Structure 1
């Protein structure tokens, strides 16, 4: 039995919860994964997994073995990373996850530049507005917008940006401008279909937080579609400043109620391990933070790592 290989297989099974998911992640067949786990249990003379029809669970011995095995595998990764550090070339695979609108407009060009700097890397960019399971989906680093839920992941805030109300000059010519947040109810409103606030718009003004009630007449689940709808004069809407800066500069959109805005939105990079951060991931995060300084509408920053 290849003890090291079986250890790696067991750790993936423990993290992903099923033999089939681990087999896909490792590029093995499910019977091969099952055989490795059985051989490892026989070698250790302990049952590692409770098997059920839906999902596997660790036994007490399995949980203890998993914690030690994960540390061993991390130590091996660190040793290999240290040995390869003499070479400046980054190699291997880098899987990045990010939100669709921001990712397509600003993240993709930054990653393209990173690929040019490190041609020996194989990079995969996955754009999706849902929150990816980094471990289960093999994501090395994710870019996330907004507040983070508590988890075992590590997060580093790299930038923040404004979210503002805008409309087109044509809309203003036809419908006039609201003078206060309360006036928004008398206007056509454009928003994300999955907005958790629904028809309530939380704003921050000169006297603090206020909530405006709106009447949505166009909804979509894509930022680029909503921005085009706003440019077409179909209503007022809240937007991420970095996605519309060029439209503001050209005059296609103008800011509405400039003394009011949504709460600023933070951008975090998120990754799975605090103890061992591969050189390729560290280099990518540094590249990302550096290039965010060039994005109009973003305010970049460096703060200590924290649990996400």
Structure 2
């Protein structure tokens, strides 16, 4: 048994959650993948996977071994890149996670361009608004908004995201634009449903931070759905500025109370801490940092 090959096979099974999915990814048969994992378990003297007919899950030993194996494989890849002079020719699997809004509007396009520049890289782009665990989920780089809490990771600050209040011109023509926070509190409000602060809102303005209670009439856990609700004239909402620049230019949306804005939200690239950071990860983060400087 080639221990390093078996370790790589096991890591892909752990990341994809299925023997058959790993087999397709690696260009092997499912029995070959199963045999490699079984041989690795026999060598280690412990069960790494719980197997069912449709999926696999990591045992406690398997979880610990996966985290260590991932670091070892990354170190091996980094060493090979250095010795073979492949820093300019990147290759391998790059798993990226990003929030839905920025992900759909900007990161998807950037990932496509990055892959075209480095055709030997296989990119897997995951878009959703949860805080993904980069270590347990095998994510190479996650774009993270706001506060950072994940241990065992490295974070590089990419910029600051500004959020503003906006409404449709038709809504403002019917209801008039609010002139104070007190008036805003009386208006129908559109907001993200994943927030845990109820109807409370904090805005920064001429007098510093001020809190108010809004009256939500429409909530959704998808940024573009919220923008559609605002454009439809349902009420006023807070939106990430880069996501509505086109609408502001076309005047299908208008800023409300422009002297007020939400607390700035830091944007970071987060990736697992390791002695050797793979060249593909370094290259993607550098590319992302340069691109987002013109977007945020």
Regarding TM over 0.5, the answer is: yes
Unaligned runs of 5+ in 1: 42-47, 299-308
Q: CA deviation at 1:161?
A: 1.8
Partner of residue 222, structure 1: 222
Task: Write the distance in 2 (CA, Å) between the matches of 1:71 and 1:188.
Answer: 50
Q: CA deviation at 1:172?
A: 1.3
Q: CA deviation at 1:273?
A: 2.8
Do the aligned partners of residues 66 and 55 (structure 1) sit closer, same or farther apart at CA in structure 2, a change above 3 Å counting? closer
Q: Is the 8 A contact 1:191 1:219 kept in 2?
A: yes
Q: Is the 8 A contact 1:163 1:261 kept in 2?
A: yes
Partner of residue 188, structure 1: 188
Residue 36 of structure 1 is aligned with which of 29, 36, 40? 40
1:144 matched to 2:144? The reply is yes
Work out the number of aligned pairs and report it: 283
Task: Write the distance in 2 (CA, Å) between the matches of 1:127 and 1:26.
Answer: 21
Higher mean C-alpha displacement, 232-241 vs 268-277: 268-277
Do the aligned partners of residues 275 and 235 (structure 1) sit closer, same or farther apart at CA in structure 2, a change above 3 Å counting? same
Task: Write the distance in 1 (CA, Å) between the matches of 2:150 and 2:174.
Answer: 46
Do the aligned partners of residues 157 and 261 (structure 1) sit closer, same or farther apart at CA in structure 2, a change above 3 Å counting? same
Do the aligned partners of residues 189 and 156 (structure 1) sit closer, same or farther apart at CA in structure 2, a change above 3 Å counting? same
Partner of residue 27, structure 2: none
Higher mean C-alpha displacement, 159-168 vs 75-84: 75-84
Q: CA deviation at 1:8?
A: 5.4
Residue 56 of structure 1 is aligned with which of 54, 59, 68? 59
Task: Write the distance in 2 (CA, Å) between the matches of 1:93 and 1:235.
Answer: 43
Q: Is the 8 A contact 1:9 1:22 kept in 2?
A: no
Task: Write the distance in 2 (CA, Å) between the matches of 1:66 and 1:250.
Answer: 50
1:265 matched to 2:265? The reply is yes
Task: Write the distance in 1 (CA, Å) between the matches of 2:105 and 2:7.
Answer: 41
- The Cα offsets for residues 66-94 of structure 1, whole Å up to 9 and x where unpaired, read as 89867654442232121232563222222
| Cα root mean square deviation, aligned | 3.1
Do the aligned partners of residues 107 and 68 (structure 1) sit closer, same or farther apart at CA in structure 2, a change above 3 Å counting? closer
Q: Is the 8 A contact 1:156 1:270 kept in 2?
A: yes
Task: Write the distance in 2 (CA, Å) between the matches of 1:89 and 1:275.
Answer: 21
1:78 matched to 2:78? The reply is yes
Task: Write the distance in 1 (CA, Å) between the matches of 2:287 and 2:102.
Answer: 17
DSSP-derived class of the 1:131 partner: coil
DSSP-derived class of the 1:109 partner: helix
